[in-house]
Amino acid sequence: MRRRDGSHRPRAPEGALEGANTSIHLPFDVKFAIMNTARDTRSISWIRGAQRDFADFPEDARLKFARALTVVAEGRMPDIAKPLTGLGSGVMELALKHRGDAFRVVYALQIGEAIWVVHAFQKKSTSGIATPKHEIDLVRERLKRLKEALK
């Protein structure tokens, strides 16, 4: 079947992708998830390593982070979000205390059209509220590689 744009790719039936997640494989361990919803929201995309780490979080924590990321996708700022300093504008951290543990999700707002989740980790720092240096270094490296991959 020929599309209006002249391509020959088959079309998905109307409504077939609503609420579905579709994956596209990009270089270096990136997973891009397209989340189609009826609302006017941005898509949320994940670096694969961040998604794997996120999957290890307790279910209650994952649900709270998912709600917060939905708020971000809708263009608002959740209560648990704060800028992650030293990594440029648009890099944010969701911070959650859950049953005595501290969990973090780092996302970037200014890389393409999507919101990119670049890191998820359980904070085990003895340095107070500061994010550990090795976690910041990992975020910096993933952001660099992501920007290069999306050029």
| pLDDT tens-place string over residues 19-34 | 334 444 444 444 444 4
Beta pairing class for 115-123 and 44-47:
parallel
Looking at CATH, the fold of the domain delimited by 21-149 is given as YaeB-like fold (3.30.2310)
CB 105 within 8 A of CB 54: yes
Rounded Cα–Cα distance for residues 31 and 17 (Å): 18
Can you say how many angstroms the Cα of residue 64 is from the centroid of all Cα atoms in its chain? 14
For the chain, domain boundaries: 21-149
User: What's the pLDDT tens digit per position in 61-75?
Assistant: 999 999 999 999 999
Output the pTM of the full model. Answer: 0.72
